[in-house]
Structure 1
Amino acid sequence: MRRKEPDEELDVISIRTMAKETLGEWGGTFATLTYVFLGYTSMVAYCSKSGEILFHLINLPEPLLNFLFTLVFATLISVGGTLATDRVNQWLTTSMIGLLLAIEVLAMVLGGWSGFGGSADWGRVPSTIPVMIFSLVYHDIMPVICALLGGDLKSIKSSILIGSVIPLLALLVWDAITLSLSSHYSGSVSDPVDLLLRVRWDGVPFMVEAFSLLAVGTSLIGTLLGFSEFFKEQLKNYHAIELSGLRNWWGRKRIGLMSMVMVVAPSLLVSITVPDAFSAATDIAGGYCMTMLYGILPPAMAWAMQRRELNEEAISSSRPALVGVGLFACGIVMEQFLQDILSYYR
């Protein structure tokens, strides 16, 4: 975050600025290219999936449903601002958690639970790594959360911890149910949502569709907020806006609308024209973009920042952790690259 004047609000600083200030121009360029690619692949995944889910609920063309769903949230952020969007997101998240708990309780009561054993095929784990990492895409909104909480480190840490542990527990139960159900279909269905849609438990298929739509909506809000703030920061650097009266208000609104169009228009175009865009986008976003942006860059930035601000003893104590995280992230990228190469030549 950055405050230019004592009485000004905190500005959200993008990961590009962080990388540039710690690693130099090359770091800023690398972060920019990776973040833009991540933002667009994430948006393509959400736009594509929203149309697919809505098509099961409303018999209208998927491209139209993609457009309308994305437009609703883009308008909410552009017109309502961060605070209004946060309130809506809290309501949607609460509803989503309630639906997920209801689905899991019903599944366990009706015989859809056998734990983490049985028919699990651990040889398929490597191919699921991109999706696992893609589930951590909430990192995009961290700069916005830091500004929203006024830079209070204790509140920020609590927000990350509580906001991560609750979904983790729910997802572990979800995984156990999915592994149990998969044994009944002999590998013919791999998507956990499709598995739950096939069961004949009263009300569960509709609840799964509603939960999936809420999950996509809340994820879309986070990516839209973070990605539009990124473009907003870049546009501010190229447009000198006088901070006075109505002109200042219109300047902020104009830049906000321009940044939103830059995020939404290309994403909708790709999601509408590319078949099976969701699977391809999640593999690219999780296997490459997320891992490089939040697995490789942060240790490098922390190393450079500590080297500049702290003594050599402090650097040495954290060096094993930084190197370990960086090497692990590089290993995931290489593993995904080898998988893609092998699948291409099959």
Structure 2
Amino acid sequence: MAVSSACFQVPTLLLIPSSRKQLLQTHRYKCSSRRANLLHKCFSQRQSESKPTQKENEEFEFERLFSNLNQATLKREPGSLSSAIFLVAGTTVGAGILAIPAVTQESGFLASAVACIVCWVFMVVTGLLIAEVNVNTMCELGSGGVSLVSMAQRTLGTVGVQIACWSYIFIHYALLVAYVARSSDILTNFLGIPLWESATLFSLIFGCICYFGSQRFIGAVNGVLLLGIIVSFAALVAVASGGLHWDALLKANFEAVPMSIPIIALSFVYQNVVPVLCTNLEGNLAEVRTAIVLGTAIPLVLFLVWNGVILGSITDLEMGSGKILDPLQQLQSSNGVVGPIIQVFSLLAIATSYIGFILGLADFLADLLKLPTGQSRPLPYLLTLIPPLVLSLLDPEIFFKALDFAGTYGVLVLFGILPAAMSWSGRYSNPTSSVKLPQLVPGGRLTLSLIIGGAGFVVFSEILESFGHP
């Protein structure tokens, strides 16, 4: 395809404006009528877009930043909005939802519901900030598949890269260990096979799906798993709600809310797939925003109903001394019908989140190792799958410990403080940058300060508590 690079380059980015100017959700490109005709031949545009005329240097609008190409066929393979929503929702509904009732039982349903909504708003905002910085970085570097490393390097320099790298690796490995540990326990109970076989089977199946599957196939798998989650969740609610004590839902102990925030925030983690999302949706900010808001709204509803059913069904919960008791185990022991449904729901929830974290970490490691974009390399996937598998087998009881530690010191730093700091730098510390996309989060410095201050306060409080200070 011999087309002048003044308009675009092949194969990674196809629409890189020479002037590097972006306008709202569309991008304008000045070029001759010959180049405009080539653009219209190469890209399938919306019906509302006008056809090029013979005027020189006429402006044309494109809603996407670039096009995803199949390097073998050179055909455009765009990601769909529905697949993006499923990816976000599937990544969000993970092992964190299984731990929510255990950490909110002391605060009660009403107080924990407020905490869930606040954490959801917080995580939506930080996800939009990551998307904003990611698309700006793609414009600046002229390449797709940009991970947090490149984003931090562009906005925060070497120090930011170190913080991003270690936080990202830490939280992903911690959560993948928790996912493999819990899923292997469930599969061992179902299949009656040794723990190491069930852990290997789980990692192998979903690792192969992520490595060999196309964007559409992975989106379809996430959609099927999410449908299974909804069906099993509805069955669980129908069975367990028969013994629901409505008075128990009125309990509200706001003093106990802070201890639950790390795991609640962890339950809303999806930001690791935002760079993948921006690439799949070809930098279309409107679709990225929709995918993030709708993709996280579905899990929010599930979390609230799930927490209400569990806390409303078990009224004699007692907190052990320094140990988190799991209400799910008590509910399973008291109701033989609920047990298998909870196991199925748990396995599906872990599987959807596991896929998202594999994709996010493999993409991150590929960028860290400077591997070519747009090609499937086995090394990032091996580095993603093997260490969590080994660590989960060394300590099968690591589930709650991994979640709490990752939520406190990983999520709130990596997906709380860091996105706001990168956005601050991109917006205000480098005003002469040639790339200025629309801001996805309003409020300016005040919003960014609240995000950094809120996340920092929770982390600092947890550090003090861990050293024995109230």
Alignment partner for residue 385 of structure 2, among 252, 259, 264?
264
Matched, 1:309 2:309: no
1:45-85 Cα deviation digits (max 9, x unpaired): 11111112222222222222111101110011111233322
Q: Is 1:199 the counterpart of 2:334 in the alignment?
A: yes
Asked if the contact 1:113–1:177 (Cα under 8 Å) also holds between the matched residues in 2, the reply is no
Instruction: Choose the corresponding residue for 2:453, options 297, 319, 327.
Output: 327
Question: Do the aligned partners of 2:188 and 2:195 also contact (CA within 8 Å) in 1?
Answer: yes
Aligned-pair distance for 1:272? 0.7
1:341 correspondence with 2:467: yes
Determine the structure 1 residue equivalent to 2:263. 131
Superposition pairs of residues 76-155 of structure 1, within 5 angstroms: 76-108=209-241, 110-114=242-246, 117-118=249-250, 121-155=253-287
For residue 262 of structure 1, report the CA deviation from its aligned partner: 0.5
Encode CA deviations 1:2-51: one digit per residue, 9 max, x unaligned. Answer: 94555873622111111110111211121111101111111111111111
Bigger fraction of residues in helix: 1
Match of 1:218 among 352, 359, 374: 352
Q: Distance in 2 between matches of 1:205 and 1:191?
A: 13
Q: 1:176 aligns with which of 275, 288, 308?
A: 308
**What's the RMSD between the two structures over aligned residues?**
2.7
* Residue equivalent to 1:229: 363
For the 8 Å contact 1:133–1:286, the answer to whether it is kept is yes
1:171-218 Cα deviation digits (max 9, x unpaired): 1111112222331344578324323312326x3221111000000000
Partner residue of 1:27?
Answer: 160
Higher Rg of the two aligned structures: 2
Deviation by residue 1:287-325 (Cα, 9 ceiling, x = unmatched):
1111001110111111111112379xx9x9611111111
- Secondary structure in 2 matching 1:101: helix
Deviations 1:251-276 (CA, angstroms, capped at 9, x unpaired) = x34xx211000111111111110242
Q: How does 1:42-57 map to 2 (within 5 A)?
A: 42-57=175-190
What residue in structure 2 maps to residue 246 of structure 1? none
Unaligned runs of 5+ in 2: 1-10, 16-65, 69-142, 434-438
* d(CA) in 1 for partners of 2:291, 2:14: 27
Other-structure match for 1:11: 144
Distance in 2 of aligned mates of 1:3 and 1:340: 47
* Conservation of the 8 A alpha-carbon contact between 2:181 and 2:396: no
Deviations 1:109-161 (A, max 9, x none): x1224266455654443332221111122111111122222222222111111
Higher mean C-alpha deviation, range 75-84 or range 181-190: 181-190
TM value normalised by structure 2: 0.64
Relative to the length of structure 1, the TM-score reads: 0.85
- 1:164 and 2:296 are equivalent in the alignment: yes
One-letter identity of the residue aligned with 2:385: V
SS in 2 for 1:34: helix
| Alignment match, 2:173 | 40
Letter in 2 for 1:259: P
* 1:77-97 superposed Cα distances (whole Å, 9 cap, x missing partner): 111233322211110011101
Cα distance in 2 between the residues matched to 1:93 and 1:309: 42
Which is further off, 30-39 or 173-182?
173-182
Q: Relative to 1, partners in 2 of residues 1:72 and 1:115: Cα closer, same or farther, differing over 3 Å?
A: farther
**Does the Cα contact within 8 Å between 1:20 and 1:28 map onto a contact in 2?**
yes
Of the three residues 199, 214, 217, the one matched with 1:66 is 199
Answer yes or no: is the 8 Å Cα contact 2:149–2:368 preserved in 1: no
Q: Percentage identity across aligned positions?
A: 29
> Aligned AA for 1:31?
A
Q: Which amino acid aligns with 1:98?
A: V
> SS where residue 25 of structure 1 aligns?
helix
Matched to 1:195, the amino acid is: Q
Contact in 2 for aligned 1:119/1:179 (Cα 8 Å): no
The answer as to whether partners of 1:196 and 1:208 remain within 8 angstroms in 2 is no
